[in-house]
Amino acid sequence: MCGIVGYVGSKDAYPILIKGLHRLEYRGYDSAGIALINPAGKLNVYKSKGKVTELEHFVEDKDTSGTTGIAHTRWATHGVPAERNAHPHRSNDGALAMVHNGIIENYLEIKADLTAKGYTFSSETDTEVLVNLIAERRKTEPDLLHAFAAALREAHGAYAVCLMCRDEPGVIYAARMSAPLIFGLGTGEHFVASDIPAFLPYTRQVIFLEDGELVR
């Protein structure tokens, strides 16, 4: 029962994402993390084992600027509860960050193919495999939207995913298959979350994504 929150707009994303994670704490989790694109275009990822408050303490002296971000609370499935297994996960090239709820059933097969191509993995998660599959598909697809869709067609199982790229500040991608994901429409801002309370203070205009739907 992991939690996802994503934000893109004109406000500072960090406080919105952290408050959203707190509103999803009822779902249960063992680690938390956040990814933000700062005004200089740097993709910052911060993760910690334990509660959201521990993540807040961890980032007190870190750069949490930016108006685009994703955040996650994780309940361990693939890999033990540890910072290395916490979300968000980055691609090897450092360009992508992704959070994910669910299970990619064929991740070991995909991981073997990517390892043969030279990819390395620092976690035991299926999520790190998926974000690197998207990175690999970027090499042959016309843009990130098509690479995202192509990778998801190869991933078998249940998922709700939220993706961001340092090359596209101001953009978040999300998709679902057999796992809840909700799109919130605001005024000059948009939200993605695994449950409505995460962004309820900001908008009540909600779209419940259906299986196989993708949103940019």
> pLDDT per residue over 30-62, tens digit each?
889 999 999 999 999 999 988 999 999 999 999
- Specify the pTM: 0.95
What is the SS3 assignment for the chain?
CCEEEEEECCCCHHHHHHHHHHHCHHHCCCEEEEEEECCCCCEEEEEEECCHHHHHHHCCCCCCCCCEEEEEEECCCCCCCCHHHCCCEECCCCCEEEEEEEEECCHHHHHHHHHHCCCCCCCCCHHHHHHHHHHHHCCCCCCHHHHHHHHHHHCCEEEEEEEEECCCCCCCEEEEECCCCEEEECCCCEEEECCHHHCCCCCCCEEECCCCCEEC
pLDDT at position 145, please?
98
Low-confidence ranges of the chain (pLDDT < 50): none
